[in-house]
Amino acid sequence: MRKAPLSILVSALVVIAATAPVAAQDEAQLKYYTTFRTYDIAGVRMPPLTNEVRNVIFLIGDGMGLEQVSCAWTLNHGKLNLDNMPFTGISRTYSTSDLITDSAAGGTALAVGEKTANSHVGCTPSAQPLYSMLDKARRLGKKTGVVVTCHMADATPADFCCHDDDRYHYDAIIADYADCGVDYIAGGGRDYFGPKREDGRNIVEEMKAKGYNYATDEEELMSAPLPVLGLLADDNLPIAAERGDLFRNMTSRALELLSAAAGNNGFVMMIEGSCIDDWLHANDIGKAMEELLDFDRTLGDVLQWAAADGHTLVVVTADHATGALTLQDGNLKEGRIGVAFGNDGHNGIAVPVYAWGPGSYAFTGIRENAAWSALISSFIK
């Protein structure tokens, strides 16, 4: 081997000397978090993989990459309800316009089975409408539902119900809910349906005229029959540490109503842990983890319901990962993590896919996000 010139060796030593203190600096910059809201995972027995799939429940953790899941797993002392999912895959998240997707394009790919450009909601890059798995289910006579922790004008719920080439055209996006035909809608965003609109329309009243039962709080939601429009906050729902079991109860009510109304014909529902992403953008690891752990607790409820049902496919993934998060320190026994954020935006790292229940054997390998959506849709019959 030829020896390197002395000048190169000296330069390398200078670089090493200059960068050596960075580890200590990084340690000082780590954000530590310990949660005491730990919980036991759901004990479920998966039904036979060959059972008929009647219901599909698609859960999306917004911004929830594998690093975020690893942090939550550590905080809950090495156990998550996600651990129940026996089949896993990898999802590539880039959009047609950018290597780094935004939530609009990432969510559209998951909703409709086709990639689109950043900022586009439920439509092609040329603004032609694309129709989601909920639309397919409705055409087949199935019941449908959307449960989120964000406001309904946000990208992911809009991707499943609305169509626009700009995710920030809130008035137009919300107006699409009046014609979406989804049977159970629950989340936040009252202001976007009336008080904040520039066109003067009251979308709540329009939907009530079409038969929707309007709920403004948890008590009203738990007694409202289908079809339901539940707007439980002016904007996003309260943060996970403050809302108690609201997200879980919204989901349980959806399962109760949709299953009863659908019978053997089945239902399709999208559930989003929306605000995981918001707090990762803010580099607030504590609030982000509380959101993710609440999402996982909700998943536990879903799996218990699905285990009793025996005919439900459950799929979990993310639209992208957020925050360039790295888990650099912590203690599994104590449920403590030390993390560093690389940015306050999204990244292009592939995200995990998890599946449980009849048909879940198909959910392995590496695919595009749109291909995973197409696979889910193939079980909607």
Q: Is 181 contained in some domain? A: yes
> Is residue 298's pLDDT more than 80?
yes
Q: Can you tell me the mean pLDDT for 73-90?
A: 97
The pLDDT score that the predictor gives to residue 24 is 46
In a domain, 159, yes or no: yes
Cβ neighbours of residue 130 closer than 8 Å, sequence gap 6 or more: 108, 111, 112, 114, 116, 122, 123, 124, 163
Query: Would the pLDDT of 220 be above 60?
Result: yes
Phi then psi for residue 229, to 5 deg, are -120, 105
Quick check: bond before 227 cis, omega within 30? Answer: yes
The domain total for the chain is 1
Q: How confident is the model at residue 1 (pLDDT cuts 50, 70, 90)?
A: very low
Q: Which residue has the tokens 């399962």?
A: 255
CA–CA gap between residue 289 and residue 322 (Å, rounded): 13
274 given a catalytic annotation:
no
Tell whether 51 is covered by a domain.
yes
Q: Which residue has the tokens 């330069």?
A: 11
195 Cβ partners below 8 Å, 6+ apart?
none
**Domain coverage including residue 59:** 28-378
Would you state the pLDDT for residue 28?
62
What local confidence, expressed as pLDDT, does residue 63 receive? Answer: 98
Residue 4 is assigned to a structural domain of this protein: no
Instruction: Tell me what the pLDDT averaged over the chain comes to.
Output: 93
Instruction: Classify 330 in phi/psi space as left (phi over 0), alpha (psi -120 to 50) or beta.
Output: left
Given pLDDT bands bounded at 50, 70 and 90, which one contains residue 229? very high
The pLDDT tens digits of the residues spanning 244-295 come to 999 999 999 999 999 999 999 999 999 999 999 999 999 999 999 999 999 9
Could you tell me the CATH number of the domain that includes residue 183?
3.40.720.10
pLDDT at position 15 is 34
Are the C-beta atoms of residues 224 and 230 closer than 8 Å to each other? yes
pLDDT class of 51 with cuts at 50, 70, 90: very high
Supply φ then ψ for residue 197, to 5 degrees: -80, 135
**22, part of any domain:** no
Per-residue pLDDT, averaged over 56-66, amounts to: 98
Q: What is the rounded (10 degree) CA torsion for 326, 237, 37, 87?
A: -60
Looking at residues 165-180, what average pLDDT do you find?
Answer: 97
Query: Is the pLDDT at 2 greater than 60, yes or no?
Result: no
Say how far apart CA 336 and CA 72 lie, in whole Å: 10
Asked if 122 contacts 245 with a C-beta cutoff of 8 angstroms, the reply is no
DSSP state of 180: S
- pLDDT tops 70 at residue 4: no
How far apart are the C-alpha atoms of 125 and 276, rounded to whole Å?
27
Contact predicate 341/322, CB 8 Å:
no
Looking at residues 170-176, what average pLDDT do you find?
A: 97
For 143, residues 6+ apart whose C-beta sits below 8 A from its C-beta are: 137, 183, 184, 226, 258, 261, 262, 265, 266, 267, 268
> Is the residue at 19 inside a domain?
no
Residue 129 CB contacts under 8 Å (≥ 6 apart), including other chains: 122, 123, 163
Q: Per-residue confidence at 50, pLDDT binned at 50, 70, 90?
A: very high
Is residue 42's pLDDT more than 90? Answer: no
Length of the chain: 381
pLDDT at 196: 78
Q: Are the beta carbons of 104 and 327 closer than 8 angstroms?
A: no
Nearest to 186 by CA among 215, 164, 163, 212: 215
Confidence of residue 217 (pLDDT cuts 50, 70, 90): very high
Task: Examine the pLDDT at 20 and tell me if it is beyond 80.
Answer: no
Residue 242 has pLDDT above 50, yes or no: yes
Decide if 2 is inside a domain.
no
Query: Which of these, 60, 65, 27, lies nearest to 323 by C-alpha position?
Result: 65
Residue 12: predicted pLDDT: 35
Question: Considering the domain boundaries, does residue 16 fall inside one?
Answer: no
Contacts of residue 39, defined as CB under 8 A and 6 or more positions apart, other chains included, come to 76, 293, 297, 300
Answer yes or no: are the C-beta atoms of 64 and 273 closer than 8 Å.
yes
**Catalytic choice (91, 95, 103, 132):** 103
